[in-house]
Structure 1
Amino acid sequence: MIQRRHTTDRMSQSVTHKGVVYLAGQVGNAGDSVADQTRECLVRVENLLNEAGSSKKHMLQAVIWLADMKDFAAMNDVWDAWVPKGHAPARATGSADLATPDYRVEIIVTAAVAE
């Protein structure tokens, strides 16, 4: 069974299938600093994971897009404080043009449903 949450005609914020939760890219508040946007992304990620019966301890993979790689260290400071010790997912970080120039970071997470 496939379960979609917070679905519009364009996308779902999360999709669960066969014990895996796939999240859409999460962004923070446009115009905020990269650290504040990262914090807000991670609040949204955590809420979506919890709603789907998962948690940040069950993350399998994270893909992080930065508008500017100069923000890598500031984003990592927030990320490192948020990820539970011993539960870091496989991760990739790259730069990309995001939906609007006011977005500095977008985070995409895949996680296992908690058993």
Structure 2
Amino acid sequence: MSLQRFNSNERMSAAVTYANLVFLAGQVPDDRSEDAAGQTRQVLAKIDNLLAAAGSDRSKLLSAQIWLKDIEADFDAMNAVWSEWLPAGCAPARATVEARLASADVLVEIMVIAAQA
């Protein structure tokens, strides 16, 4: 079994593959001026790109962890985008919590694990 790292620096990798699994680091939006729905779209697009680079896609998600800056204010908006993005019948095990994120203007961060194609 080979281990492969994607978009690595001295601190972390954006994705790591091992044993036919893809582990993504938490993804945050680049344009932080958008609302929770817009930030969620950005994050999910980044996840799509990383999964594709690692030989997987959103239909193979196994688990997801979602952190929201304000779960009461942003849960419904994030969830609407998530539900639109997720293929029917492919819901992963998932946890969503409120957390203080690394930057005050980040409203959503998502980390996933997927099977490789």
SS class of match (1:26): coil
Q: 2 CA distance for matches of 1:26 and 1:111?
A: 14
| Alignment-derived partner of residue 52 in structure 1 | 54
For the residues of structure 2 that align with 1:34 and 1:87, how far apart are their CA atoms? 23
Q: CA deviation at 1:31?
A: 2.5
Q: Which amino acid aligns with 2:16?
A: V
CA distance in 2, matches of 1:17, 1:39: 27
Residue 12 of structure 1 deviates from its aligned partner by 0.2
Whole-Å Cα distance in 1 between the matches of residues 10 and 35 of structure 2?
A: 30
Amino acid at match of 2:33: G
The residue aligned with 2:115 is 112
The count of residues paired between Structure 1 and Structure 2 equals 114
C-alpha distance in 1, partners of 2:95/2:33? 24
Q: What amino acid is aligned across from residue 92 of structure 2 in structure 1?
A: P
Task: Using structure 2 for the length normalisation, give the TM-score.
Answer: 0.96
Aligned-pair identity in percent equals: 50
1:33 pairs with one of 17, 32, 35: 35
TM, length-normalised to structure 1: 0.97
1:82 paired residue number: 85
Q: Which runs of 4+ in 1 moved over 3 A?
A: none
C-alpha distance in 1 between matches for 2:49 and 2:116? 14
Question: Which residue is 2:13 aligned to?
Answer: 12
Q: By how many angstroms is 1:5 displaced?
A: 0.5
**TM-fit CA distance, 1:30:** 1.6
**What is the CA–CA distance in structure 1 between the aligned matches of 2:10 and 2:100, rounded to whole Å?**
23
State the Cα deviation string for residues 33-59 of structure 1 (Å, max 9, x = none). Answer: 000000000000011001100000000
